[in-house]
Amino acid sequence: MDWLTKMNLAIDYIEENLTQDINFNEVAMRACCSSYNFQRMFAFITDISLAEYIRRRRMTQAALELQNSNSKVIDVAIKYGYDSATSFARTFKALHGLTPTQSKQDGVKLKAFPKISFQISIKGDKEMDYRIETKEAFEIFGIETIVSLTGEKGYLSPAEFWQTCQKNGEYDRLLSNAGDLPTFLPQDLCKIHGAEYYRKTEENTFPYMLCSFVSKSSNTKGYKTIHIPAQTYVVLESPKFKWGDEFFKVLTTLQKRFYSEWLPTANYERADSANFEIYGGTEKYGYIELWYPIIKK
């Protein structure tokens, strides 16, 4: 079963169960991958979280039902999984800009979010540099946060976590304890990188770490240390860029291209293990490598 078929089977499952509780593990099973992998892939390809997509589809269908039937607001609210008309109305208004009752009036404008269909778009406008490497086991250490896959409040995004650690001094402290780079790495790399999904956490979350590679000169005391087993990776490398405002754009573009361009057409699947954001370059110009764990189909 190819990538497109599996992704569209997952979307079909969502569509068939909009009025039921949707378990993200069940959705991911249709795509033959873990919930983490499916949600990360979905978000990078579509620019919205899986939870938000489901919310939009439910509110689209609810609006159509309210406009084209005599159904009561509370009945439609319960049908689409809301315990009260108040919570339903709040979500409905956030999307459509008016209340469920107002949506029944003639001539009102509503938003429609259609069902997603995955397909491969052959662009051919930009080449993508990558290489396949098998790396021996190594260890990392650093500062960890837990990230929500569903956008739940109270969690930092990876970008917010970097900014927080740079402001509160944790970044500088980790840098001072990083030590020398291990000999198996290029020596023009930075000493702090990003790692995610290196251990299991609660459902719909994943761990993210500002990390350094453990070497003989590293001071790991007081930090979380993680053993990374031997693994084959696809390594995607960005063009060189000026450090600053371009950084997050370059990073997210490379992440999106892995999920939307490389993975759908490769004879590999993303393995269910840790991936890395590796940073290198000079004080003025940098580059990013993304290490994604893979296995042959």
The answer as to whether 217 is a domain residue is yes
Residue 209 lies in a domain: yes
Q: Say if residue 223 is in the same domain as residue 149.
A: yes
Q: Is residue 118 part of a domain?
A: no
| Same domain flag for 215 and 155 | yes
pLDDT tops 60 at residue 124: no
* pLDDT given at position 135: 94
Check which CATH number belongs to the domain holding 38 and give it: 1.10.10.60
Question: Do 99 and 189 belong to one domain?
Answer: no
For the stretch 45-57, pLDDT in tens is: 999 999 999 999 9
Chain segment 215-244, per-residue pLDDT in tens: 999 999 999 999 999 999 999 999 999 988
**pLDDT band at residue 31, thresholds of 50, 70 and 90?**
very high
What confidence score (pLDDT) does residue 107 get? 84
Looking at the structure, tell me whether residues 73 and 196 fall in a common domain: no
Whether residue 125 is contained in a domain is answered as no
Q: Which domain holds residue 14?
A: 3-104
Strand partners, 112: none
Q: Look at residue 125 and tell me whether its pLDDT is greater than 60.
A: no
Average pLDDT estimate for 89-100? 93
**Res 1: pLDDT:** 57
Residues 147 and 100 in one domain: no
pLDDT for residue 3: 82
Whether the predicted pLDDT of 63 surpasses 90: yes
Q: Which of 104, 120, 152 is the last residue of a domain?
A: 104
Q: Is 110 within the bounds of a domain?
A: no
Q: pLDDT tier at 121 (50, 70, 90 boundaries)?
A: low
Domain annotation covers residue 28: yes
Residue 111 lies inside a defined structural domain of this protein: no
- pLDDT at site 265: 85
Q: Return the exposure string of 194-216: e unless at least 16 CB atoms fall within 10 Å of the residue's CB, then b.
A: bbbbbeeeeebbbbbbbbbbbbe
The CATH number linked to 139 is 3.20.80.10
pTM of the model: 0.90
Per the structure, how many domains does the chain have? 2
Give the mean pLDDT of 90-108: 91
- Asked if residue 41 and residue 78 are part of one domain, the reply reads yes
Q: What is the pLDDT of residue 4?
A: 84
Q: Are residues 181 and 67 in the same domain?
A: no
The DSSP-derived string for 166-182 is: HHHSHHHHHHHH--SPP
* pLDDT on residue 123: 54
Please list the alpha-helical segments (H only) found in the chain.
Answer: 3-16, 24-30, 35-46, 50-68, 73-79, 85-96, 158-168, 170-177, 246-257, 263-265
In a shared domain, residues 161 and 86 = no
Residues 95 and 183 placed together within one structural domain of the fold: no
Q: Give me the chain's average pLDDT, please.
A: 93
In this structure, the answer to whether residues 92 and 148 fall within a common structural domain is no
Cβ-proximal residues to 167 (8 Å cutoff; 6+ apart), any chain: none
**Percent of the chain scored above 70 by pLDDT?**
97
pLDDT for 20 equals 95
Q: Given pLDDT bands bounded at 50, 70 and 90, which one contains residue 12?
A: very high
Arithmetic mean of pLDDT, 10-20: 96
**Confidence label for 126 from pLDDT (cuts 50, 70 and 90):** low
Please tell me whether residues 170 and 236 are part of one structural domain. Answer: yes
**In degrees, to the nearest 5, what angle opens at C-alpha 261 toward C-alphas 33 and 209?**
60
- DSSP-assigned beta bridge partners for residue 132: 234
Is 59 in the same domain as 155? no
